[in-house]
Chains A and B, each alone.
Chain A
Amino acid sequence: MTNIKKKNKNTLLEKEKKLGLILLLPTILIVLSVVIFPLLANFWISFKPVSLGDLRPPKLIVKERIKGNLSDKSQIAEIQYRYRNSSIKYDLENVIIKDIIPNGFTVKDLQPARFCRIKLKEITCNLNNVSSRSSGKIIIKIHKNDQWQKELDNPKKTKPLVTFSSKNVLTSFEFNTENFKKVFSASEFFEVLKVSFYYTIFGTAGALLVGLLAAQILQKSFRGRSIVRGLLLFPYVSPVIAVAFAWVILFDPFSGIVNSMLVQMNVIDKPINFFGQKYTDIIIFGYVFKFPLALSMVIAFEIWRYFPLSFLFILARMQSFPEEVYDAAKMDGASPLQQFYYISLPFLIGIMSILFLLRFIWTFNKFDDIFLLTGGNAGTRTFTVNVYEQAFAVSNLGAGAAVAVVIFIFLLTFSLLFMRYSKKETF
């Protein structure tokens, strides 16, 4: 009896397992093919000297031309095949060109004779190797024979058939560590590292602090609070491209409002190129500081765009506070600042540390914002922008992939940290 029950239960469990896996299968497949596979491919590419040009597979271009008149009177004509290796880097191997000569012609001569054979009406030219950028000609002299018919027999009617094989860097098994050497040895590596961490730390902390302030302000109920709350989310929900360009135009050195306003009010003498100037000198008590202007502007944008998110989380957490605690604190004579420091802050510290870690990861991985604001110039090149710069601007895909691998290793470290922390605090 119990045995049967157990068996029933087991089959039910089996069925459930199976169904669960079936339901998850499409997700797994899609994620495997578009996330995991590229991730692995990224490692693969990072060990190879691949440039952007290698993505265009090498091709043999063959053009067929007929010399001489094929009208009724003349008897002789010439078919020419001009071929060219389109690649500037790769040789083509085992190149074979085949074509069929129509019935109305007899082949008289075939050049180069070394490579070309004729069998029945089919010409086969085995060219072996065609080195990169080289080209050549195949010439076939033909005569009209008595079967010739004007309408049917045009040699151009059949397209030449081309087969070849070529080396492909992407799929070959040649590896080297040139890309990594290039990425790590470059003097700019430490510059990029420094900028990345500056951007990430100040961007994340700033957004978190402004979010905390905003949440404190909006916690108090007042007329129009829900409108203001919606309003504060605008920067986050709008397309990044729209708001980034709005900032660029706002701070434009020639026609930007901020600059002309500052000049108008005599705060500065000449316009400042906010997103294009690496350093600006700030004089405090006679000391001259080199202030990283463009980087700070990019960080300011980051704070502006992402504080709504921290704000939303912190506000949600604050609204779940037990009201009584504050009442009790007020009864005991705690001042507002004391209430904030001793009650609110300890409540919030959990969610804030989680937010900090998650946002840290995301800010570190941020590409769009910096790319659109400065293009990575003026001392704002982070790792993510460097991926683009290496892969698509310098068109060295391998080096770009190597930078991406570096990013991924950072990401993995941060995520493991996050996983360890988030066990303590659920949200």
Chain B
Amino acid sequence: MFWKYGLFFSILSGGIWGVFWQIFFTVIGILTLGTPLSLELSQIMIIGPLAGILYIKSQKFLSIKFHLTAIIIITFLIFISHLGNPYKAEDENQLIIFMLILLTSFFIWVSLNHCLYNLSPGKLSKHDIESFFIKFMWGIGLIILILITLIPFYIMIMTSLKNQQSLILNPLDLSVNLNTDFKTLFNSYIELFTNFNFHLFLINSFIVSCTTVIITLFFSIPGAYALARLRIPNKKIFSGTVILIYLIPSIVLIIPLYAVFSYIGLRNSLFGLILVYPATTIPVALYMLRGYFSALSSEIDDAALMDGLSRIQIILKIAIPLSKPAIVSVGLYVFMIAWNEFLIAFMFLDDPSIFTLSRGIMSLNSSEIPQQHLMAGAVIATIPVMIIFLYLEKFLISGLSAGGVKG
């Protein structure tokens, strides 16, 4: 059977990787040059398998020198096969085109090195075939996963740096001219902060989110402690109810909340938001913190009780200091929920001076306001969460995995 031979797999993977990287770098080329490039796959479908054969046949003498030679050979082959004009690009872009082809060859070779390493060209065992297959899928999967995750963010940032004219002229041109001065490059951001009150929205969002975190922690820490430690009747029912309440979505509550808050005049105010947000986050925080507190050893509590500390003192002096990381996680998670909240802010706030960021961005979503403003707003709303996330990733991840079934 031909498909049980290593040679077959080298040809197969060479072809697939070739096509994959060709598409990838054509797209990159279009986005950086902003000029149309044509996607040509027929040549690479021959060159890729050839590279695969080259790799698997020469496995005995792999060295850095050999790798470099191979990459140069592939580059050369691609050039020749396109009659010196790959992508049918214009002449002035020759240098970038050359770089793209070099990168294409480089990545084809690296991918082959990853999934064909130590594979013999001869007949393979079932185990070898499977591990080749897994390595191959692993590589493709990882790249696709990263790309799919990042592309919308990339689009968000790049669009926010463009100006209206160039966006309409050529939507594909995402290259950013770094030679332009700061003012034109960040024009949308400056506009948002000067004409669209985004500084106010940022402050409002911070006020609402931080207050929500403080109120949530203030009420949920003692509550969680009570649920974890104290002997309360019907504790099980109570815990079950907490989870159930935590599952109720705000869309089910929004109509009565809207009606009642309109009636008592709290609807169009930040105070109203600060009243509603903690109610949605306290059950989450209670649920998460209860888990953490239960995990603390109760002997410390008993010892402290013997020493004459009251329960309140135990919470303040023992439970809170011992579970600081957990409290930080919960706090961050609650901050994230409040910061990202959209529906209630959208329904409640009418007055532009008290918009939160989510509400503010929604007001940019109109045909009169250019796209790059909308994307700049999106970037502004995303950055604080990202900063928190990158600095305190460990905490946030543990927060997410403790309570993150909601969202």
B46 touches A (CB below 8 Å): no
User: Chain A residues with Cβ under 8 A from B27's Cβ?
Assistant: 261
Known: A20-B230, A38-B253. A232 touches B149 (CB 8 A): yes
Contact: B342 with A255, CB < 8 Å?
A: no
B401 touches A (CB below 8 Å): yes
Mask: chain A, 383-427; 1 = CB below 8 Å from B; 0 = not? 010011001100001001100100110010001000100000000
Contact: A249 with B400, CB < 8 Å?
A: no
Which residues on B are within 8 Å of A, measured CB to CB? 26-27, 30-31, 36-39, 126-127, 130-131, 133-134, 138, 141-142, 145-146, 148-153, 155-156, 159, 167-168, 171-172, 174, 219-220, 222-223, 225-227, 230-233, 238, 240, 243-245, 247-260, 262-263, 275-276, 278-280, 282-283, 286, 311, 336, 339-340, 342-343, 347, 357-358, 361-362, 365, 371, 374-375, 377-379, 381-382, 385-386, 389-390, 393, 396-397, 400-401, 404-407
Contact: A250 with B401, CB < 8 Å?
A: no
Known: A19-B226, A246-B378. A337 touches B130 (CB 8 A): yes
Contact: A34 with B279, CB < 8 Å?
A: yes
Beyond A55-B262, A232-B149, A239-B358, list 16 extra A-B contacts (CB 8 Å): A23-B230, A35-B248, A50-B259, A56-B262, A170-B263, A233-B397, A239-B382, A249-B374, A304-B152, A336-B134, A367-B250, A372-B342, A387-B252, A388-B251, A404-B255, A415-B247
Contact: A19 with B311, CB < 8 Å?
A: yes
Contact: B227 with A234, CB < 8 Å?
A: no
Contact: B361 with A242, CB < 8 Å?
A: yes
> Nearest-CB distance from A272 to chain B (Å)?
14
Mask: chain A, 330-366; 1 = CB below 8 Å from B; 0 = not? 0001011100000000000000000100110110011
Nearest neighbor of A355 in chain B, beta-carbon distance: B405
Contact: B172 with A260, CB < 8 Å?
A: yes
User: Chain A residues with Cβ under 8 A from B378's Cβ?
Assistant: 239, 241-243, 245-246
CB within 8 Å of B: which A156-177 residues: 170
Q: Which of B30, B243, B251, B362 contacts A261 (CB 8 A)?
A: B30
Contact: A411 with B226, CB < 8 Å?
A: no
User: 26 pairs across A/B with beta carbons < 8 Å?
Assistant: A27-B223, A27-B286, A38-B253, A38-B257, A39-B252, A45-B255, A55-B259, A228-B142, A232-B149, A233-B389, A240-B340, A242-B361, A246-B156, A249-B155, A255-B171, A257-B31, A259-B171, A312-B397, A316-B401, A337-B130, A362-B247, A362-B407, A408-B248, A411-B248, A411-B252, A415-B247
Contact: B151 with A335, CB < 8 Å?
A: no
With A and B bound together, what is the CA distance between A266 and B39 in angstroms?
9
Contact: B260 with A31, CB < 8 Å?
A: no
Q: Which of B39, B156, B259 contacts A242 (CB 8 A)?
A: B156
* Of A84-92, A194-202, A213-221, A287-295, the one touching chain B: A213-221
Contact: A27 with B219, CB < 8 Å?
A: yes
With A and B bound together, what is the CA distance between A243 and B256 in angstroms?
29
A13 touches B (CB below 8 Å): yes
Q: Which 5 A-B pairs have the closest CB atoms?
A: A34-B279, A242-B378, A365-B249, A41-B256, A20-B230
Contact: A367 with B230, CB < 8 Å?
A: no
Contact: A31 with B146, CB < 8 Å?
A: no
Q: Which of B172, B257, B381 contacts A257 (CB 8 A)?
A: B172
With A and B bound together, what is the CA distance between A233 and B150 in angstroms?
10
Q: Which of B220, B232, B379 contacts A20 (CB 8 A)?
A: B232
Mask: chain A, 313-328; 1 = CB below 8 Å from B; 0 = not? 1001000000000000
User: Chain B residues with Cβ under 8 A from A206's Cβ?
Assistant: none
User: Chain B residues with Cβ under 8 A from A333's Cβ?
Assistant: 127
Contact: B142 with A257, CB < 8 Å?
A: no
Q: Which of A235, A241, A365 contacts B251 (CB 8 A)?
A: A365
With A and B bound together, what is the CA distance between A23 and B243 in angstroms?
18
With A and B bound together, what is the CA distance between A36 and B241 in angstroms?
11
Contact: B262 with A21, CB < 8 Å?
A: no
User: Chain A residues with Cβ under 8 A from B153's Cβ?
Assistant: 234, 238, 243, 246
With A and B bound together, what is the CA distance between A33 and B196 in angstroms?
35
A264 touches B (CB below 8 Å): yes
With A and B bound together, what is the CA distance between A45 and B263 in angstroms?
14
Nearest neighbor of B221 in chain A, beta-carbon distance: A23
User: Chain A residues with Cβ under 8 A from B379's Cβ?
Assistant: 242
> Nearest-CB distance from A394 to chain B (Å)?
13
Contact: B253 with A42, CB < 8 Å?
A: yes
A368 touches B (CB below 8 Å): yes
With A and B bound together, what is the CA distance between A407 and B393 in angstroms?
35
Q: Which of A34, A220, A246, A306 contacts B152 (CB 8 A)?
A: A246
A30 touches B (CB below 8 Å): yes
Known: A245-B365, A304-B148, A397-B255. A35 touches B247 (CB 8 A): no
Contact: A231 with B150, CB < 8 Å?
A: yes
With A and B bound together, what is the CA distance between A239 and B131 in angstroms?
39
User: Chain B residues with Cβ under 8 A from A242's Cβ?
Assistant: 156, 361, 377-379, 381-382
User: Chain A residues with Cβ under 8 A from B156's Cβ?
Assistant: 242-243, 246, 249
User: Chain A residues with Cβ under 8 A from B401's Cβ?
Assistant: 312-313, 316
With A and B bound together, what is the CA distance between A335 and B133 in angstroms?
11
A188 touches B (CB below 8 Å): no
CB within 8 Å of B: which A107-142 residues: none
User: Chain A residues with Cβ under 8 A from B280's Cβ?
Assistant: 34-35
With A and B bound together, what is the CA distance between A255 and B164 in angstroms?
11
A47 touches B (CB below 8 Å): no
Contact: B255 with A391, CB < 8 Å?
A: yes
